[in-house]
Chain A
């Protein structure tokens, strides 16, 4: 549109200012070196997830392109140049399987959080903004979910349904959304008191408009921080369920499942459980560091 062109023309500094905003964000982020480390770890995993087929020396060992391969002649080889992390009982390259496991873990994290956020945040927004009876009812339902230990609830859900990857994600999302509802609710309660929310009403805006234009953008920061912290935990819970045999089923290259299977061969074939375990450890650590950094950056409190 011509008008927006004139806008940029009369203000050539817009881009520059945006860059400055970015610099400021980077500066605050850098104040915490751990968050940089976290970010590097996450980027590393994302990179691996995307390019797993090209990095992995034996993609088919991880079931790539539905061509699962087994090499019983190579089973339980200890780590070597050929098999960095050794091989498992079917002679599959553990290094390749761990790399492919990254894809699964990240997918679990993203799907679980997307589901949890898309249920929890609207519930919290509505409950917080409307308050009164509706708010009370929504928050009591939330409290019921919160009063059940999450892993137990997730176990129950995945036992009740057939144990597979989709149901694992469903189960975890079911126990996760109440935390987002609670967090959003608390934030909305405080933002609601700000004058600009009253001003929005004074202008004649509808409640929906007020919620989405004025309140939501101001509660996003703590939600983002919580999401980055939770990514790690969601992956951890998925791995735990896998470990208990209630998550992804073998031969899916899921880290928790791999750790569980490797347990039978400890300590002689130590590499089988150790490397997937390390991967879980690293990714959880990475997301925690990142979350801490974001929290400092946004300067918010998260329960």
Chain B
């Protein structure tokens, strides 16, 4: 891949303070996003997959500047946007838009579809009133909705139609970058496919760059160019979508892939060898020591509960966060191994 990234995220952190007790003064945090770095190239779809509570939605919304980052930087077209505020931030909204998970809640039930789609144009004072009306009609047509829907309220629409409205709204101000936060997970499969192919067409046509947040690996495989697998606020593995499914190196990815229910016999052969899936995401208020995944990991060894791995590159464009590929943490791992010589996981690599 060449050229400059459109979006560049470095060591992004989003911590939420939690009340540890009524009289306790000790500060405690939920590390929803805990030092995440990635680049998104222009025209690319970068997907972040993970289970509920892994921080993927927080990551997406922090990148879109809906939430304030507590650490790290976000650069958009080379410009640091982490601390933009006021007018500059509102201007940035023209370039970065978000499509939310549940269209029933992202559309104001008391406003008509026309007003909802027109809102970004009104906010940014684009065109005359007649031009805006014309643009709304054009947008509705573009997302395959009849123009007369503009007079309806969201409740009169089905889930898929509502999500089309949300997409039309996001595209109204011609953004360059769109964060898609689980855009189809609230929809039925037969509708989901339509929305996905619409998003795909729009990307080609309008030269959009997507950050796709999803929990559905099968979906992501077909839509994304590159994928980041997230667990407890950390990216565990980042690579292109083909490699992720053919040659996953992180144990968490292996478990995720094993757990996908498939519908075609051909699919089974495309999954890496099944591993035992165990445990559940721990309470993010009280994450495990060392590698966050080690209590559930089928390949954990003695160093895993003590040393926190870093995301390291194992081959070109393929990063993993696992002590089996320790990178700069090799020394720390070696130290722990010398303490105790039971090394279960070593042979597997």
Q: Tell me the A residues contacting B by CB distance below 8 Å.
A: 1-4, 7, 10-11, 13-14, 17, 194-196, 198-206, 209, 213-214, 217-218
Q: A13-B148, A199-B100, A213-B111 are in contact. Are A204 and B130 (CB under 8 A)?
A: no
Q: Complex: how many Å from CA A11 to CA B151?
A: 9
Shortest beta-carbon distance from A109 to chain B in Å = 26
When distances are taken between beta carbons in the complex, the residues of chain B under 8 Å from A195 are 100-102, 105-106
Shortest beta-carbon distance from A43 to chain B in Å = 27
Could you tell me if A213 and B119 are in contact, using CB atoms closer than 8 angstroms?
yes
Shortest beta-carbon distance from B167 to chain A in Å = 12
Could you tell me if B151 and A17 are in contact, using CB atoms closer than 8 angstroms?
yes
Shortest beta-carbon distance from A31 to chain B in Å = 19
Q: A194-B105, A217-B108 are in contact. Are A204 and B120 (CB under 8 A)?
A: yes
When distances are taken between beta carbons in the complex, the residues of chain A under 8 Å from B166 are 199
| Interface majority SS (helix, strand, loop, mixed), chain B | helix
Q: A3-B133, A195-B105, A196-B108 are in contact. Are A203 and B123 (CB under 8 A)?
A: yes
Q: A201-B66, A202-B97, A205-B123 are in contact. Are A196 and B148 (CB under 8 A)?
A: no
A-B pair number, CB within 8 angstroms: 80
Q: A194-B105, A204-B124 are in contact. Are A199 and B150 (CB under 8 A)?
A: no
Could you tell me if A204 and B133 are in contact, using CB atoms closer than 8 angstroms?
no
Residue of chain B at shortest CB distance from A210: B123
Residue of chain A at shortest CB distance from B172: A203
When distances are taken between beta carbons in the complex, the residues of chain B under 8 Å from A203 are 93, 97, 119-120, 123, 169, 173
Could you tell me if B66 and A196 are in contact, using CB atoms closer than 8 angstroms?
no
Tell me if B152 is interfacial: C-beta within 8 Å of chain A. Answer: yes
Q: A13-B148, A202-B97 are in contact. Are A1 and B129 (CB under 8 A)?
A: yes
Shortest beta-carbon distance from A297 to chain B in Å = 15
Q: Which of A1, A198, A218 has the most CB of B within 10 A?
A: A198
We find that the number of chain B residues with CB closer than 8 angstroms to chain A is 37
Could you tell me if B64 and A202 are in contact, using CB atoms closer than 8 angstroms?
yes
Tell me if B134 is interfacial: C-beta within 8 Å of chain A. Answer: yes
Shortest beta-carbon distance from A196 to chain B in Å = 4
When distances are taken between beta carbons in the complex, the residues of chain B under 8 Å from A4 are 133
Shortest beta-carbon distance from A74 to chain B in Å = 57
When distances are taken between beta carbons in the complex, the residues of chain B under 8 Å from A1 are 129-130
When distances are taken between beta carbons in the complex, the residues of chain B under 8 Å from A17 are 151-152
Which B residues from 95 to 111 make CB contacts under 8 A with A?
97-98, 100-102, 105-111
| Interface majority SS (helix, strand, loop, mixed), chain A | helix
Tell me if B52 is interfacial: C-beta within 8 Å of chain A. Answer: no
Q: A1-B129, A204-B93 are in contact. Are A198 and B66 (CB under 8 A)?
A: yes
Could you tell me if B119 and A200 are in contact, using CB atoms closer than 8 angstroms?
yes
Tell me if B289 is interfacial: C-beta within 8 Å of chain A. Answer: no
When distances are taken between beta carbons in the complex, the residues of chain B under 8 Å from A14 are 148, 151
Q: Complex: how many Å from CA A202 to CA B97?
A: 7
Could you tell me if A199 and B106 are in contact, using CB atoms closer than 8 angstroms?
yes
Q: A202-B97, A218-B110 are in contact. Are A10 and B130 (CB under 8 A)?
A: no
When distances are taken between beta carbons in the complex, the residues of chain A under 8 Å from B66 are 198, 201-202
Shortest beta-carbon distance from A121 to chain B in Å = 16
Q: Complex: how many Å from CA A199 to CA B98?
A: 8
Q: Complex: how many Å from CA A204 to CA B90?
A: 4
Could you tell me if B111 and A204 are in contact, using CB atoms closer than 8 angstroms?
no
Q: Which of B91, B130, B148 contacts A11 (CB 8 A)?
A: B148
When distances are taken between beta carbons in the complex, the residues of chain A under 8 Å from B107 are 196
Q: Complex: how many Å from CA A196 to CA B116?
A: 10
When distances are taken between beta carbons in the complex, the residues of chain B under 8 Å from A10 are 147-148
**10 A-B Cβ contacts within 8 A?**
A14-B148, A194-B108, A199-B98, A200-B119, A203-B173, A204-B89, A204-B91, A204-B124, A205-B123, A214-B108
The list of the 9 closest CB pairs from A to B, nearest first, reads A204-B93, A11-B148, A204-B90, A217-B110, A195-B106, A196-B108, A195-B105, A203-B120, A3-B130
Residue of chain B at shortest CB distance from A1: B130
Shortest beta-carbon distance from A201 to chain B in Å = 7
Tell me if B176 is interfacial: C-beta within 8 Å of chain A. Answer: no
Which B residues from 57 to 98 make CB contacts under 8 A with A?
61, 64, 66, 89-94, 97-98
When distances are taken between beta carbons in the complex, the residues of chain A under 8 Å from B105 are 194-196
Q: Which of A7, A14, A203, A209 has the most CB of B within 10 A?
A: A203
When distances are taken between beta carbons in the complex, the residues of chain A under 8 Å from B151 are 7, 11, 14, 17
